[in-house]
A and B are shown apart, each in its own frame.
Chain A
Amino acid sequence: MPILEARSLTKTFRRPDKASGFKGAVKHLAQRKYKNYTAVDGIDLSIDAGESVAYVGPNGAGKSTTVKLLTGILKPTEGTVRVMGRDPHTERIANAHDIGVLFGQRTQLWWDLPVEESLKLLKHMYGVSDADYKARIAKFDELLDLGEFMPALARTLSLGQRMRADLACALIHAPKMVYLDEPTIGLDISVKDRLRAFLREMVNDGTTLLLTSHDLADIEEVCERIIVIDKGAVAYDGPITELKAHYITTKAVNLYLEDAVDVPALAEKFPEFTWAAGEAPSEVTVTYESARFSTAEVLGSLTAQLAPRDLSLSEPSIEDVIRRLYAGELTR
């Protein structure tokens, strides 16, 4: 049973159509022209309870607009959304009780007050009992080190602290469905790691998660399913493992030889592989089909015949796949 279902979800905005410069500004004053811009174009989504879904796409693809439609902030131009059986826009308040939302670029902390004050206000808003509040704050403290900056004014927090506090704000009421929009934006690697570990635990506890991020490590470490959106429409929807298995069909080995490499000669000698010159004259990259050759087989053959002074393996990454999906080279 899906916890979230969207059918033909469409959002069109009206934007001023204004020529640049002073003349354009004056002309727009006298004769206003607008253009319709479709940010989300007929998206169908179905997310089951307990799923962890990455929602990715290039800048301007419509990710944040989709999240705002799913959370009830925006009213769809066309199509329907049901979250736990409710329309999140018309039944906004009831829906808000069961969801947690974090917009990485917008804090929900009261800027001029201690973090604790914001959390206490949220406790009242969601009607969280004293016992639950204490237990959750203790858990956030354990996983996110919240205690160290609870008494600090929100405006004095570092970005990492601010994001951890915002995450606590989004989850203080133990929501069933959580939307995180760029939760690791601008964070250093250690804070990212802690946030990801926290999110994994949250998902393991049964919370449904929709995560938008430009950081593919967030996606790989936290989510099982990926939806790629581009130009307002779904370009791919499926398990991350399947995406990898389906589209990451090749692997690569970088070889560092003693002397300059003659790439055409190697290509002739090993026609089953694809050869490309590396950055230095003695470097070469060998690409092979992972379904045909095992890595051990390839390494054995190459080291025996070429005796490289060093080598490195290029780890399979979904980054290239997503880049190619964005570019429209791949479709499901």
Chain B
Amino acid sequence: MSHAFAVDRAFATVAFKRRLAYKTQWMVALVLGGGAMLVSMAMWRYLLADGALSGYDWDSMRAYIIIGFITATVVFGAADWNIADRILDGHIAVDLTKPVDFQRARAAEYIGSMASTVPTVVVGVIGAWLLFDPPGPASPTAGVLTAASFVLVFPLAFGITYMTVLVCFWTKRYLGVMWLREALLSFFSGMMIPLAFMPSWLQAIAWALPFPHFTTTPAAIYLGHVDTAGALGLLAAEAAWAVGLWLGARLVFRRAVRKVTVHGG
């Protein structure tokens, strides 16, 4: 393993351990993380009792909700505050004295913290599978491509989060930025309601943004709403957003780092 990957792994491991350091919080998330999913299931079961709505019947909605649970748990459970805090309280000064690429180190940390939510995902998915018996993927290929879409959620989530965290260099506050990002992500990803329920102009806006890849893309591939070519196209778009945000963040950081003003020791 090259030195750079060993450093990435070390950062990711430390971030993972930091999440586990707060055992009670982690255990509560593990046991109760699926609670919101149960509420969603109950609501949609009621709404779909009379048949399909906008192409979703109870069968496909069960799978959709589980997919939404997976991405929401991984994305909202990551440690974005750690990066924001370091910028806001001046600890970035310490980070900048280390022989590592700031963005890459934060990405490794972020992915390590996302990985700490995987046990919650596993417990939640197993529980949901036993309770609700959702349909399997439309085809083995769809299953594999759905898994690929989940994997791409990690760099994509980092790209969006990191970009918004860098805004702290200008805003000097993070809370509002985080609320805005989470609201946009919840809404335009389809986590709250599937995009198919939205008017076409709103769907067009959603697809012009990276957010649908957090739930709508893996769900569409899994449920067979798109064929293999369509699935590959969605994955290419998801990957392109991840790469674009990565490169864009580099440009933003280059400007942002000039704004470092750490006073007083």
Binding site for B on A (CB under 8 A): 13, 64-65, 68, 71-75, 92-94, 96-97, 99, 101, 103-108, 110, 112-113, 117, 120-122, 124-127, 153, 181-182
Contact = CB atoms under 8 A, between A and B. Distances in A.
B10 A113 contact: no
Interface stretch (B94-102, B147-155, B242-250): B94-102
Nearest to B3: A127
B196 interface: no
Nearest to B101: A93
Given A97-B99, A125-B99, A112 B18 contact: yes
Contacts of B11: 121
Given A101-B97, A103-B93, A117 B262 contact: no
A96 B99 contact: yes
30 contacts: A64-B262, A71-B97, A72-B96, A73-B93, A73-B96, A73-B260, A74-B260, A74-B262, A75-B257, A75-B258, A93-B99, A93-B100, A96-B99, A96-B100, A97-B99, A99-B97, A101-B94, A103-B94, A103-B265, A105-B265, A106-B265, A107-B94, A112-B18, A113-B14, A120-B10, A124-B6, A125-B7, A125-B98, A125-B100, A182-B265
Could you tell me the dominant secondary structure of chain A's interface residues? mixed
Given A103-B265, A113-B14, A181-B265, A92 B96 contact: yes
Contact of B97 (A72, A112, A127): A72
B22 interface: yes
Nearest to B100: A125
A7 B261 CA distance: 21
Contacts of B17: 113, 117
A-B residue pairs, 5 tightest by C-beta: A124-B10, A105-B265, A96-B99, A101-B97, A112-B21
A111 B97 CA distance: 18
B90 interface: yes
A113 B21 contact: yes
B225 interface: no
Q: Interface range on chain B: under 10, 10 to 19, 20 to 34, or 35 or more?
A: 20 to 34
Contacts of B99: 93-94, 96-97, 125-126
Contacts of B101: 93
Given A74-B260, A75-B258, A106-B90, A124 B21 contact: no
Contacts of B22: 112
Contacts, number: 78
Nearest to A104: B265
Contacts of B96: 71-73, 92, 96
Given A73-B260, A103-B265, A112-B18, 18 more contacts: A13-B261, A13-B263, A64-B264, A71-B96, A72-B97, A75-B258, A93-B101, A96-B96, A96-B98, A101-B94, A106-B90, A106-B91, A108-B94, A112-B22, A124-B6, A124-B7, A125-B98, A181-B265
Nearest to A185: B265
Given A71-B97, A93-B99, A93-B101, A121 B260 contact: no
A145 B141 CA distance: 58
B265 A125 contact: no
A216 B8 CA distance: 41
Contacts of B93: 68, 73, 103, 106
A122 B105 CA distance: 12
A100 to B, nearest CB: 8
Contacts of A105: 264-265
Contacts of A182: 265
A106 B94 contact: yes
Contacts of B258: 75
Nearest to A97: B99
A60 to B, nearest CB: 8
A120 B14 CA distance: 10
B262 A68 contact: yes
Contacts of B21: 112-113, 153
Nearest to B14: A121
Nearest to A166: B94
Q: Which of B7, B21, B101 is the most central at the interface, judged by chain A CB atoms within 10 Å of its CB?
A: B21
A104 B99 CA distance: 20
A218 to B, nearest CB: 15
A64 B265 contact: yes
Contacts of A124: 6-7, 10
A158 to B, nearest CB: 19
Contact of A73 (B6, B262, B264, B265): B262
Interface in B70-94: 90-91, 93-94
Interface in B1-60: 3, 6-7, 10-11, 14, 17-18, 21-22
A71 B260 CA distance: 13
